Chain A
Amino acid sequence: MTTSEKKPLDRQTMCSRLAMEFEDGWIANLGAGMPTLCSNYDFKDKDIIYQSENGLIGYGPLAKEGEEIPNLVNAGVQYVTLRPGSAIVHHADSFTVIRGGYVNVTVLGSYEVAENGDFANWKTPGRKGGGIGGAMDLAVGAQRVWIAMEHVTRDGKPRLLKRCALPVTAVGVVQRVVTDLGLFDVTPEGFLMREIAPGYTPEEVQAATEAKLIISPDLKPLKVT
């Protein structure tokens, strides 16, 4: 492992790393913000079906400016396009898809993830309100809950924690996390670091992490293929 090109991963690389593992035919729900970058990955022959909370099943890329279809937005209220084979349902049926276990993977952003699989992404300190949206339903309903987030806060505080400090979104549901420093699986023993941002050492990543990391014996540089 070399430190020659030490640079945190960019957001597209982080999301592409998760998207790489999407399987053909999967139904995916991508949270607003960073997770939507997963759809930029080149899936080649794989067919991914994007689903959003507002009842849109099977949408395509973002609409080009000037080509927006007025009544067609995803859950992040971005104008998207229709793919052949798409379908529209109402909100209650959309959460049948979500809570009923039809979503193969959801990729969500988060403030914190804990080594027990808890995560916190709806409320920041000192505020009475918050924004839940579909996250709590996705967290308990999707077959896989994967998180994409920066490894530390803007103030440099760790986000991979022993226990969440913020109010949690769901308990024990996160299976995988990608950050700008690596790829981590949540295991019964805690965070297993499987891949690391090129140029970083495990010790450097651990120093930016509150939870104790288990370093995979097969630790590899994180790479998008």
Chain B
Amino acid sequence: MTLDTVKHATETPEAAQPWKELGLKEDEYARIREILGRRPTGAELAMYSVMWSEHCSYKSSKVHLKQFGEKVPENDAMLVGIGENAGVVDVGQGYAVTFKVESHNHPSYIEPYQGAATGVGGIVRDILAMGARPVAVVDPLRFGAADHPDTKRVLPGVVAGIGGYGNCLGLPNIGGEVVFDPCYQGNPLVNAGCIGVMKHEDIHLAKASGPGNKVILYGARTGGDGIGGVSVLASETFDSTGPSRRPAVQVGDPFQEKLLIECTLEIFRENLVAGIQDLGGAGLSCATSELASAGSGGMRVELDTVPLRDSSLSPEEILMSESQERMCAIVEPDKVGRFLEICEKWDVIATVIGEVTDGERLEIFWHGEQIVDVPPRTVAHEGPVYHRPYERPSWQDALQADDAGALPRPATAEALRDQVLQVVASPNQASKAWITDQYDRFVQGNTVLAQPEDAGMVRVDEETNLGVAMATDGNGRYAKLDPYAGAQLALAESYRNVAASGAKPLAISNCLNFGSPEDPAVMWQFAEATRGLADGCLALGTPVTGGNVSLYNQTGETAIHPTPVVAVLGVIDDVTRRTPIAFTEEGQLLYLLGDTREEFGGSAWAQVVHDHLGGLPPKVDLERERLLAEILISASRDGMIDAAHDLSDGGLIQAVVESCLRGGTGARLVVPEALATDGSATGDAFTFLFSESAGRAVVAVPRSEELRFTDMCAARGLPATRIGVVDGDAVEVQGQFSLGLDELRAAHTETIPALFG
């Protein structure tokens, strides 16, 4: 086979090219020819096709994501915004934190263990590339029905993969979610997030500047696995039939990644890099074009110097390979020696593959012959942008009209008791300990809070006890009923979870999981959700620092529920002031903060008891969320509360049961006379226990602090209703029922092991 050089391409303008097979549209191919003024070479075509794929170019989502950059709240914490590998926020005392969530949905369905494992690997490299030491991971997960046979294949593999990779890297897993819904049957959502910590001066950016600087590829050798895998796979409707549509999945090597982390941190410590980029989707195509595009000059790469695992790889394949555990650094010539020495120390292969030029082109050579000559921006940043048509689906009105409030409610105290047990034991509400116990949450010795707390929390500084917290939340059922509100509810819940732990929410990342953008109904969901999230962030003062979009999560015509997942990062000056969820001290008073209304649309109760999804999701009141958060943070700082648990799916009773089980104590609850300050709901036990009104939390107040606490709530205008006391070894709702802790514990903890153990 002759090498398709730039010269050859110029001489053979009419040669047929496989642009269609590479996922390009006709007009996109024409555009490439226009940019280059000739047909692209095979290598150029490979680069454009992966970089212009949905996964890498965000071509369908870009016009909507813009809002995150436009509706930016006043926030001095933001140090690096959207566009870099991950955003960076200031957490005080000279520290900065970078964090991000990414999806690895499609590969995890094909090969659950490796798909999930490499998902963790990818996000950790993103964080590392910012200059930070990764300090924790989180994993929001969604699967098909818990009792579906295929879920038995997917879930254990995904969990083992996340654990297998993260545990081996020495990163504590401090949070996440596990949600089951038939809508994810053929499209499980495997999102992974990572938090990294650095000093302000250590922030590194992905840009190649300074002519003469060397381009060093280091880490694993490049192999033939996953060629175009992630990008192409994540850019198509997934169809499991034809084996030819099954691109190779990569196998991760967490040991190599651990070496890469330590090696890279040592390189940072000695200040040896001018720019750095991880290799993820689209591999070298992405790293070289992005580095060059963000820098001032051009770049020249000798592709035949790339260390290979398989010597028969073609240049196109090398450019597209998504082999894991690789990084690319820009290094001044006089620092190359030391750079390579550190790599040698850590047994990491490192190779100078090129250099920054004073030109404007990205030029790639293969044994001396030029095979790529492109303006890097056109590859990395000037991909196609689609204004996809969107339209509110015709079924949305009927769905919203199907009010969950009309569902039959338990008629007797006995029935209410049964339904409480049912909800607490349902796969979505049950304890996830069987899963999270497969994750190391202690490693690094800084974990202050981890599962099943509202937020994960790690200590950042051993001297001052500065810490950061993170929670991730998303509720596809709410978002299906109303994607605008659903996105805000995800934000609000995550924000509330962080505040409940005592930390101040600072900024967010997101992972937007949706169906096919070619479906106007899905595109409408996407448009609504992004608008809701951007508006919500503005209202809460928490900027979006970055995120990830995963589209084409659908089987045939059926899309998953729109599932925006939001990760909120918070900061706490002194982790000794954190608030756990556990009720531990008998006699402490339980207060319900916020208003409770008759809100059952999309609720856990409607799902578990009636298998119902309809109506409207709970009303969003972001001002209220903000106030609630302020109260929770002040109360924690001033030692007024000993426990706090946010209320979300499953309502008050779910939260109380979790807090009781965690602390090993019971609670006696009294149904209050009024549930909402505006008088909209009077005190009925069912609404009290199961409503999913937003903006609420339950707290345990030592008697000595009661006055101070209620005064503070009254002064700030936050409804605080005394609903009971920590006591005994049962959860008792006065006049209704009593459920022993043992019975509750069995119901709550046995479900998941029985399904997957």
- Please indicate whether A and B come from the same complex rather than being unrelated chains: no
